[in-house]
Amino acid sequence: MLARKYLFPNVIEMNYQAGRRLGVNVYLIDGGDEFLLIDVGYLDTVDEIVELIRKMDFNLSMCKMIIATHADADHIQGIARAKELMKTKVAAHPLTVEPLESGDEIMTYATIKAQDFAIPMPRCKVDIEINEGDVINVGSVKVEVWHTPGHTAGQLAFKMGAQEPKLLFCGDNIYKDSCVGVIDAHHGSHIPDFIQSLKRIIKDDSEFLLPSHGPVFRRDNRIVQKAIDRLTQYQYMADFGTCAIGWPLLDEWEADVLAGRMPEFSKAETR
């Protein structure tokens, strides 16, 4: 049996649990007598993630649902396989249902022809539609659903605010280096909505933000405001694109994961 590596009470992140990079951040919310997963990542890592869950002594029948934060392939390419293995239900925002159920390779970023990139996008039936204001009870834990469009039309975030510290699973809305999820009209991005979603985050009382990529970090309104200011400019600039050749933050985070360094969230933490 594997010791469970909790980031916070009731929260396990599967990259840290595995001690290596599996891809997108996959969060397991442990409610005691049941659990859920937020995202599951690529198809080629699903079997390993499910095996890790078994080795942590979770009964797979206790999985209440797998939630898709949105319909990008790096988050949900493996969701149909995970659903089959765990015999559970898939939940998503109503605007995420169509790309998930149709396997739309363009909207999900499974195919980017201009970059010679193509991976399969298995279709997956969505069993439960979740939306703004819904509360998901996971055993003893309550998870509040936020609809935070901008990166995609159906982007979701999740608040755990009934305990300390208060947590916000912020999806691809914001990362520790002030970057945000890719902005591309082909998969439903909308910059004005993105700005409003970030303004909602900046007003929130969550102490920590748990993004879909890279390290968890203490909420710092300067990080969020920097993104708001940048996106506000993007609305009036012709040179915006998605052609970055690297991401230093993710390289640093992966080095920590591989070295087995779990994050420490002291009050003195700085960027």
Give the other-Cβ count within 10 Å of 71's Cβ: 33
Summarize the confidence of residues 217-230 as an average pLDDT.
Answer: 97
- The pLDDT value given to residue 223: 98
The one-letter code for the residue type at 197 is: S
Per-residue pLDDT reduced to its tens digit, 65-116? 999 999 999 999 999 999 999 999 999 999 999 999 999 998 898 898 888 9
- Of 106 and 210, the structure prediction assigns the larger pLDDT to 210
List residues bridging with 169 in a β-sheet: 158, 210
Q: Is the pLDDT of residue 204 over 60?
A: yes
Give the integer Cα–Cα distance in Å for 23 and 29.
18
Summarize the confidence of residues 228-248 as an average pLDDT.
Answer: 76
Summarize the confidence of residues 11-21 as an average pLDDT.
Answer: 97
Q: Is the pLDDT of residue 266 over 80?
A: no
What the block records as the tokens of 250 is 């993710």
- The pLDDT value given to residue 268: 54
Q: Is the pLDDT of residue 60 over 60?
A: yes
- The pLDDT value given to residue 240: 53
- The pLDDT value given to residue 185: 83
Per-residue pLDDT reduced to its tens digit, 133-177? 999 999 999 999 999 999 999 999 999 998 899 999 999 999 999
Spatial CA neighbour of 179 closest among 108, 253, 236: 253
Give the integer Cα–Cα distance in Å for 49 and 82.
9
Q: Is the pLDDT of residue 271 over 50?
A: no
Domain boundaries, the chain: 6-258
Main-chain dihedrals φ then ψ at residue 36, nearest 5 degrees: -135, 165
- The pLDDT value given to residue 235: 85
Summarize the confidence of residues 234-262 as an average pLDDT.
Answer: 81
Judge contact between 158 and 143, C-beta under 8 A. yes
Q: Across all residues in the chain, what is the average pLDDT?
A: 93
List residues bridging with 217 in a β-sheet: 209
Q: Is the pLDDT of residue 194 over 80?
A: yes
- The pLDDT value given to residue 234: 86
Q: Classify domain 6-258 at the CATH superfamily level.
A: Ribonuclease Z/Hydroxyacylglutathione hydrolase-like (3.60.15.10)
